[in-house]
Amino acid sequence: MTTKNISLPALLLALLCLPVHALDIGQPSPEFALPGSAGTVRLGDFKGKIVYLDFWASWCGPCRQSFPWMNDMQARYGSKGLQVIAINVDKKSTDADLFLKDHPANFSVAFDTEGKTPLNYGLKGMPGSVLIGADGKVLLVHNGFVPADRDALERQIKQALTSQEKS
């Protein structure tokens, strides 16, 4: 069987099952530079901000639930130093475009059609998110998204923003 016959979800599942080293809290976040909906998105461009980095795919059901919440977080905390970045891992950009048509993003969106960035972050599922401090270090790694996660994730964001203000 060639890779042309493998579905994207099966391929991503296989890639996510490869042995990778998950990020530890306090570890520097891996840099990336990816094409985005408004130009190249580089993590380094957001140094000094709290970054909520989300990995998503068009076929991911929980991703549909996370987008309105991420829009809300960006609207509520963007002026306080939060930047939401969502990295799409669909192989075909048209799949991502259709998703974004139904679930608009009011935050930075980047595209990683090769799926290398989630591997660099050691994510184990979709969606996966990483909260990154103003110093570029990992504060939180979270797998999945259900409505019950919202309050705890928002508390982590608020705590990171408060810590940044005190620095």
What is the identity of the amino acid at 152? A
What is the identity of the amino acid at 49? K
pLDDT at 2: 43
Give counts: helices (H), strands (E), the chain: 5, 7
Helix residue ranges, H only, the chain: 8-16, 61-77, 93-102, 116-120, 150-166
pLDDT at 19: 41
Which CATH number does 20-39+47-166 carry? Answer: 3.40.30.10
Mean pLDDT, each 10-residue run in order, the chain (167 residues) = 52 48 82 94 96 96 94 97 97 93 96 93 88 95 90 96 80
Predicted confidence (pLDDT) per residue in 73-105, tens digit: 999 999 999 999 999 999 998 999 999 999 999
Global pTM reads 0.85
Cα separation, 41 vs 35, whole angstroms: 6
